[in-house]
Amino acid sequence: MVSFGAVGAVGAGGDGDETARLGLVVGHLLRRERLTQGRTLKDVSEAAGISMPYLSEVERGRKEASSEVLAAAAQALGLDLADLLLLAGDELARRARRRAARGRTSPTAQYDSFCLAA
């Protein structure tokens, strides 16, 4: 099971741990895809079998979502979980490159890229 940690006070693009940023990025991707499709939280939550308030919290990176919940949300949007995670990995890599270009590397910068299997 893939799990994304709770976000707490870390903002989008913040320098919190990778788990928190991953949760924010995945939530942002879900919301962006939902809005691109012109769908409501209610519509997607019903299609995914997830409560609307919970999906909203996941989209905002405030709730930890299991791989099952993420897969259901992704499927309701016509995506595979693997596609969602690849998009998230690409976004995190882009952010890491941007941070490195600005000279803001962390002590764990060598571990900024990762591999997820769904």
Distance separating alpha carbons of residues 56 and 77, to the nearest angstrom: 14
Q: pTM for this one?
A: 0.71
Exposure letters 36-62 (e unless 16+ CB within 10 A, then b): eeeeebeebbeebebeeebbbbbbebe
Give me the pLDDT at residue 100, please: 84
Q: pLDDT by residue for the chain (118 residues), tens digit each?
A: 444 433 333 344 444 555 557 889 999 999 999 999 999 999 999 999 999 999 999 999 999 899 999 999 999 999 999 999 999 999 998 888 888 888 755 555 555 555 555 5
Distance separating alpha carbons of residues 46 and 24, to the nearest angstrom: 22
